[in-house]
Amino acid sequence: MDRKDAEERVKELRQLLDKYGYYYYVLDQPLVPDSEYDEKMQELMKLEEEFPELQSNDSPTVRVGGPPLVAFEKVQHEIPMMSLGNAFNEQDLYDFDRRVRQVTGDDVQYTCELKIDGLAVSLSYENGSFIQGATRGDGTTGEDITSNLKTVGSIPLRLQKAADIEVRGEVFMPKRSFENLNKDKEQAGEMLFANPRNAAAGSLRQLDPKIAARRNLDIFLYAIADDKGMGLKTHHEAIAYMKELGFKTNPESQLCQSIEEVVEYVNSWVDRRNDLMYEIDGIVIKVDNLKQQQELGYTAKSPRWAIAYKFPAEEKITTLTGITLSVGRTGVVTPTAELKAVKVAGTTVQRASLHNEDLIREKDIKIGDQVVVKKAGDIIPEVVRVLDDLREGHEKDFEMPSECPACGSELVRLEKEVALRCINPQCPAQMQEGLIHFVSRDAMNIDGLGEKVIQQLFTHQLVAGIADLYKLEKEELLKLERMGEKSVQNLLNAIEASKQNSLEKLIFGLGIRFVGSKAARTLAEHFKTMEQLRNASYDDLLAIHEVGEKMADSIVSYFDKPEAAALLDELDALGVNMKYKGPKKAEAASDSIFNGKTIVLTGTLEKLTRKEAKEKIEAFGGKVTGSVSKSTDLLIAGADAGSKLTKAKEYGVEIWEEDRFLEEAEL
């Protein structure tokens, strides 16, 4: 076949496969057997391999997954992906309606949509071709997952019209795909996914798109973020237009003429939700008229024209077969209910935290009781109440032990605390939990040292404390289960790289009581070195605005312990960095134009993320706030600045563009 014939055949095959895919994935109406689709796909792949110049980014062959990525690039959302306010009962819905009508008048309609339990994404198209897909992230900055999204069959690579458009939707994993995936993982001896949402999110964050391609993900599109001036007047018109373009939208959405119809729609799905082939966790209610949406506007976090009704947590009855104890890194002993397996909100529940002895007494929980369980927020299993009228007399009271279940030391209850605590610093359970905390993302961030690997290291007596991590040798790690040459080398490289972390990572990783990641950074910025922090007095610590009495006392107590001093000396000798490497505060107020100023950021910054700009301002003594007022000293405006810019002009606030900010900050 010559190039001209190949080009014609490639064009024909792509059109056929696009059509087959649209009917299969979007309309759920297969036109041909799977074997014929696969045959055409193989033919196209061979032609594109033989004639590389005919390859295209929107060819159906990209759905099989491309080469692995090194990392995900950051994406700045021009239009923020905001979260929604929540409604938990009918009164919340009526209150929402009242707030809406106070602004729009009584002539208001609502579109109701199923709230898909998946991962929110944004898809961008130019001239009808899919060019980029990103996660929601923090609403302002997400991750570029285009390669993985191309493997989702229901996402069109080319639209029915040559449109420039950005749309928003929810990628999800159908229940059947989730069950099959977990069966495969179980057979392979791997950890199972907790629910379809986690499975979908994990699939889209795989650096190898071929893995995402095997996960059978799906999507519903629910909004046009930027219609490039298409003149649409209502939300349901926008949904219809997306369908015309070839997007898959949820067929269960409904236009309601009143809030009473909304409530009826919501109630109709409370019991029917489990009949769907995918998970939902509520209903999204939106003002339908787009002009009214503009009138209502936004709060700092969410639109005033939409709300998410969250379904009441599903409750199930099961048997509490026992109560086990675990010891956390701070020594707190936590009782956990062991339950006869029961399916709640889509997943099997066998354990639920009972928090402390007082809660067990308050709920009168006995071993052998019939109990009602639910998932708080549809996530965390919880024992709601005991069905004491079903007791048969064989149920047993539970008594908290007086000794630590891990080391046998006496348990104590500190003043004003409900928890029992083991105060033995050599308690193996505490040491293990402390290590898990030390290597976590917000602490030393040692990739490859998950909970299971830490447990293996303890079991094989390769580590007994934090410093031992930096003494691990390749030969001893290779003897561990599921630790091959490559994974061991990657782990050792990650451990070595963690030595260069800035001081705040180490401070947080030490697990000092009351010292979170933000406080750790404050301490690192203030004292600059671990030595100065170790020598700080109670009064020195209290002099820091963010440090209170409890935290100061906890820090002094920690560094007073001989074992803490020994640990830090050993880490220092092993080459772990003991200095702050982050941006330094301005040395003197007179040297910083931002020092003492109240500053607002608005619009889209091109050369920095909002977070980076905020950190720079704060490093030079400035304070960043979210809204413009008469006390605002400076507004830094990026592209597409809106109401904040208008308000700043009204108040006579000084306004800089991004380039001026970069120049003044010497960035």
Using N-to-C axis directions, what is the helix angle for 428-438 and 451-459, rounded to 10°? Answer: 140
Architecture, CATH, for domain 85-310: 2-Layer Sandwich (3.30)
Query: What are the extents of the domains in the chain?
Result: 3-64, 85-310, 316-412, 428-498, 503-573, 589-665
pLDDT at 550: 87
Least confident of 61-70, 143-152, 166-175, 344-353: 61-70
For the chain, give the percent of residues with pLDDT over 70.
95
| pLDDT grade for 568, boundaries at 50, 70 and 90 | very high
- Angle, CA 280 vertex, CA 274 and CA 283 arms, to 5°: 115
Q: What is the pLDDT of residues 182-205, one digit of tens each?
A: 887 777 666 677 778 888 888 888
Mapping DSSP onto H, E and C, the string for 498-564 reads HCCCCHHHHHHHCCCCCCCHHHHHHHHHHHCEHHHHHCCCHHHHHCCCCCCHHHHHHHHHHHHCHHH
Task: Report the range of poorest mean pLDDT among 139-148, 298-307, 640-649.
Answer: 640-649
Please determine, for residue 115, whether its predicted confidence score (pLDDT) is greater than 90.
yes
Fold of 428-498: DNA polymerase; domain 1 (1.10.150)
pLDDT at 498: 95
Reported as a pLDDT band with limits 50, 70 and 90, residue 76 is confident
pLDDT in the model for residue 329: 84
pLDDT, tens digit, 9 for 90 and up, residues 254-292 = 999 999 999 999 999 987 887 899 989 899 999 999 999
CA angle (69 as vertex; 66, 71 as ends), nearest 5? 155
Is residue 586 predicted with pLDDT exceeding 50?
no
Percent of the chain with pLDDT over 90: 45
**What's the pLDDT score for residue 179?**
86
136 CA to centre of own chain: 9
Structure token digits, residue 318: 């099961």
Q: Give the E-state strand segments of 388-448 in sequence order.
A: 411-412, 421-422
The CATH number of domain 316-412, selected from 3.40.190.10, 3.40.50.880, 2.40.50.140, 2.102.10.10: 2.40.50.140
* Residue 320 confidence (pLDDT): 97
- Beta strands 347-353 and 370-376 are unpaired
Determine the topology of domain 589-665 in CATH: Rossmann fold (3.40.50)
Indicate the pLDDT class of residue 589, thresholds 50, 70 and 90.
very low
Confidence of residue 111 (pLDDT cuts 50, 70, 90): very high
The whole-chain average pLDDT of the chain stands at: 87
- Classify domain 3-64 at the CATH superfamily level: Helix hairpin bin (1.10.287.610)
Who wins on pLDDT, 516 or 152? 152
> Is residue 585 among the annotated active site residues?
no
- Please tell me the predicted confidence (pLDDT) of residue 282: 92
Residue 318 banded pLDDT, cuts 50, 70, 90: very high
Q: What is the mean pLDDT of the segment spanning 30-35? A: 75
Which of the given ranges, 185-189, 532-536, 600-604, has the highest pLDDT on average?
532-536
Matching CATH topology for 85-310 and 428-498? no
pTM of the model: 0.52
Lowest mean pLDDT segment, chosen from 80-84, 385-389, 551-555, 623-627? 623-627
Is pLDDT above 60 for 122? yes
Distance CA 457, CA 467 (A): 13
Query: Which of 4, 11, 19, 115 is flagged as catalytic?
Result: 115
The CATH number of domain 503-573 is 1.10.150.20? yes
How does pLDDT run across 78-98, given as a tens digit for each residue? 888 988 988 988 999 999 999
